[in-house]
A and B are shown apart, each in its own frame.
Chain A
Amino acid sequence: MVNPILLIVVPLGLAFALPIVNLISKKIIKYIPVLAFLFNLILSLLLIPKVLEQTIIVKIGGFHPPFGINLFVGPVGILFSTLIALAGFLVSIYALSYIKEGPKEKYHILYLLLLTGATGVVLTGDMFNLFVFFEILCISSYALVAYLGNKAGIESSIKYLIQGSVGSSLLLLGIGLLYGQLGTLNMADIANQINSISSPSIFVPMIFIITGLGIEAAIFPLNAWLPDAHSSAPSSISAILSGIAIEVGLYAVIRVIFTIFNASSFLMFFVFLGVLTLLIGEMSAFSQKNIKRMLAYSSIGQIGLIMFAISLNTQLGISAGFFQMISHTLGKGLLFLSVGFLIYKTGSMKISSFEGIGKKMPITSLLFTIGAFSIVGLPPFAGFASKFMIIKAALTTGQLLFTVLIGVILLGTVIEGAYFFKVIQSIYFKGTTDIIKRDEAPLIALISMSIFVLLIIFIGVYPDFIARILNSAASEFINRIDYIRSVLG
């Protein structure tokens, strides 16, 4: 049997091997991330059927939980690790032609580390281990935001760093408080004992941990770093930050709330917070002139939608939330990647500079359009299926409040539609009508983006394909007793 720990070990090991390889040949380093995530993708896909049958607990060093560090490879973990590997693989293919300047070997090292951290966060079963992987994720993203070394990148990076390090201190503080009371760091063990202590002394570590993780998850009002960082990073990194990093952050938040603290009563607050996050994100995106900032704000909106769905605290709601995460990863990833080359060719991030680019780069523009349609939630793309599921989940609860909030969310969708359609108009229907010489993005990037499109259409048309894994993922969150039992035996 293959060991799921390879999902973490291989990219981590390759990240450290990369400088050595760089000494030998400077040309092959850019293929290392591709190989690493291809390996991860294949491994994750192979693991899916096994995990769906039974959760795999990896005991590192042979210590039995709650003593050693263990990995918990459940449906959620494998779902996320597949998603991370998929996005990592496609974006690294894209980066083959996109990353041309700067210290390339550092880019690839940090890229591997970033996604290793993300995989670690979703697979780990230990609180402190979560913190460590989280820090790997954060620090490598601070550095990658500043990769271009320009004014915007450095400024965004330092702001991100300040907020992020406050957050990680809070997280560590929360973990310390929890450890002080329970004497354990194993997540299942904490979950098992959480009801034995009084609620105020759980509440304090909980809010610290939620706030600390919430900064990475871009919950309003902790998301001020996001538009800066996502818009200043290289586009391939923006795709990963938007598609993977914030969702991993959100995963951590909900894992803490559902499994560790059993605080489902707290989710009512998160429902409102989610809707607020959505509205703030969409409204801020509405009058943006900078395309990447617009996409970044739209990510905030999508996170709000995911939060809303998951906070419904029903089987259907949580699976809808995961579905929305998948379609957001694919859609927003595609948008950032295609915008990357649009910006590269026009030399500007202003939406007005894209006028007429549809003639110059028809395929890239088409890919952008499909991504935008999917994010807005138009059929037959993935965004529609996930939005369909979210609304269904909210209406199934039968509560008037959720029905009203659905109205607010759909208002957000209309705003979202309005600004995306404006961009599409300026791409295709503005600017010169003369015949322009084609200047398309490189083939390899187009291939990587086309795979995104194929997946978006496939999942949008055939959502039942992922229904089973979504369902088991949702049950993993709902049945926390099963989680505890499968780890502690």
Chain B
Amino acid sequence: MEFLSNYIYYIGAFGLIFIGLFIILVKHNLIKVIIGIGILDTGVNLFLIAVGYISKGTAPIFSKAGLDANNMVDPVPQALVLTSIVIGVAILALALSLAIRLYKHYGTLDLRKIKEQRW
């Protein structure tokens, strides 16, 4: 049980990563693949947060006397995650807009049928 509580975030993060990869690999619908990318991204972000997280830790600000620096949550991953979320959003937005254009051209979002560019 203690194992689970210690590693739940990592398990969750890798769970999301594998789910995301699985969707990208298996699903044929472009929208679903984009959702997979989103999930994959979220998993990685969660992992980054989990790296810096300390359970029952405090914010990394010396606002009160007596705060233990060892008990503070690492601020760097949080900053990273903010950046990476922004990047993820940009990718999702671009992907969705491309999906709309693609649908206009092909009339379908089935990736098995969108194979004009090959060989």
Chain A interface residues (CB < 8 Å from chain B): 128, 131-132, 135, 139, 142-143, 146, 149-152, 154-159, 161-162, 165-166, 168-169, 172-173, 176, 179-180, 183, 185, 227-228, 231-232, 284
The reply to whether B98 and A179 form a contact with Cβ atoms under 8 Å apart is: no
The reply to whether A173 and B17 form a contact with Cβ atoms under 8 Å apart is: yes
B21 to chain A, nearest CB (A): 7
**Given A162-B33, A169-B44, also A176-B77 (CB < 8 A):** yes
The reply to whether B95 and A161 form a contact with Cβ atoms under 8 Å apart is: yes
A134 to chain B, nearest CB (A): 10
Map CB proximity to A onto B63-94 as digits: 1 under 8 Å, 0 otherwise. Answer: 00000000000101100100110010011001
> Which of chain A's residues have a CB closer than 8 A to the CB of B84?
131, 172
| Bound CA–CA A169/B119 (angstroms) | 27
The reply to whether B106 and A151 form a contact with Cβ atoms under 8 Å apart is: yes
List the 4 closest pairs (A to B, CB-CB), nearest first. A180-B51, A228-B117, A151-B105, A176-B48
The reply to whether B44 and A173 form a contact with Cβ atoms under 8 Å apart is: yes
| Bound CA–CA A284/B119 (angstroms) | 8
The reply to whether B116 and A161 form a contact with Cβ atoms under 8 Å apart is: no
The reply to whether B102 and A158 form a contact with Cβ atoms under 8 Å apart is: yes
Interface size on B, residues (CB 8 A): 36
Q: Among the listed B21, B80, B116, which residue makes an inter-chain contact with A152, where contact means beta carbons less than 8 Å apart?
A: B116
**Given A166-B21, A173-B44, A176-B77, also A146-B98 (CB < 8 A):** yes
Residue B28 CB within 8 A of the other chain: no
A272 to chain B, nearest CB (A): 24
**Given A165-B41, A172-B48, A176-B77, also A139-B94 (CB < 8 A):** yes
The reply to whether A146 and B101 form a contact with Cβ atoms under 8 Å apart is: yes
> Which of chain B's residues have a CB closer than 8 A to the CB of A149?
101
Chain B residues 90 to 118 lying within 8 A of chain A, measured CB to CB, are 90-91, 94-95, 98-99, 101-102, 105-106, 114, 116-118
**Given A152-B117, A169-B40, also A158-B98 (CB < 8 A):** yes
The reply to whether B90 and A139 form a contact with Cβ atoms under 8 Å apart is: yes
| Bound CA–CA A231/B102 (angstroms) | 17
The reply to whether B102 and A154 form a contact with Cβ atoms under 8 Å apart is: yes
**Given A166-B24, A169-B44, A180-B51, also A155-B30 (CB < 8 A):** no
Q: Among the listed A146, A154, A173, which residue makes an inter-chain contact with B47, where contact means beta carbons less than 8 Å apart?
A: A173
Q: Among the listed B37, B74, B90, B99, which residue makes an inter-chain contact with A166, where contact means beta carbons less than 8 Å apart?
A: B37
> Which of chain B's residues have a CB closer than 8 A to the CB of A166?
21, 24, 37, 40
The reply to whether B101 and A154 form a contact with Cβ atoms under 8 Å apart is: yes
> Which of chain A's residues have a CB closer than 8 A to the CB of B106?
151, 155
| Bound CA–CA A143/B77 (angstroms) | 28
A221 to chain B, nearest CB (A): 15
Chain B residues 25 to 50 lying within 8 A of chain A, measured CB to CB, are 30, 33, 37, 40-41, 43-44, 47-48
- Contacts A/B (CB < 8 Å), 16 sampled: A131-B84, A135-B90, A139-B94, A154-B105, A156-B117, A157-B98, A158-B98, A161-B91, A166-B24, A169-B37, A169-B40, A169-B43, A172-B44, A176-B51, A179-B48, A183-B74
> Which of chain A's residues have a CB closer than 8 A to the CB of B76?
179, 185
The residue on A at minimum CB distance from B74 is A183
> Which of chain A's residues have a CB closer than 8 A to the CB of B30?
158
B111 to chain A, nearest CB (A): 9
> Which of chain B's residues have a CB closer than 8 A to the CB of A172?
44, 48, 84
> Which of chain B's residues have a CB closer than 8 A to the CB of A128?
80, 83
| Bound CA–CA A173/B33 (angstroms) | 19
> Which of chain A's residues have a CB closer than 8 A to the CB of B33?
162
| Bound CA–CA A242/B77 (angstroms) | 34
| Bound CA–CA A169/B98 (angstroms) | 20
The reply to whether A139 and B77 form a contact with Cβ atoms under 8 Å apart is: no
A106 to chain B, nearest CB (A): 12
The residue on B at minimum CB distance from A138 is B91
> Which of chain B's residues have a CB closer than 8 A to the CB of A284?
119
The reply to whether A135 and B87 form a contact with Cβ atoms under 8 Å apart is: yes
> Which of chain A's residues have a CB closer than 8 A to the CB of B41?
165, 169
The reply to whether A159 and B117 form a contact with Cβ atoms under 8 Å apart is: yes
> Which of chain B's residues have a CB closer than 8 A to the CB of A162?
24, 33, 37, 95
A296 to chain B, nearest CB (A): 11
> Which of chain A's residues have a CB closer than 8 A to the CB of B43?
169
**Given A158-B95, A169-B41, A169-B44, also A132-B117 (CB < 8 A):** no
> Which of chain B's residues have a CB closer than 8 A to the CB of A152?
116-117
> Which of chain B's residues have a CB closer than 8 A to the CB of A173?
17, 44, 47
B45 to chain A, nearest CB (A): 8
> Which of chain A's residues have a CB closer than 8 A to the CB of B77?
176, 179
> Which of chain A's residues have a CB closer than 8 A to the CB of B40?
165-166, 169
The reply to whether B98 and A176 form a contact with Cβ atoms under 8 Å apart is: no
Known contacts A146-B101, A161-B95, A173-B17; 11 additional CB pairs below 8 A are A139-B87, A139-B90, A139-B91, A146-B98, A150-B105, A155-B102, A169-B41, A173-B44, A176-B47, A185-B76, A228-B117
> Which of chain A's residues have a CB closer than 8 A to the CB of B114?
155, 158
The residue on B at minimum CB distance from A164 is B91
The residue on A at minimum CB distance from B30 is A158
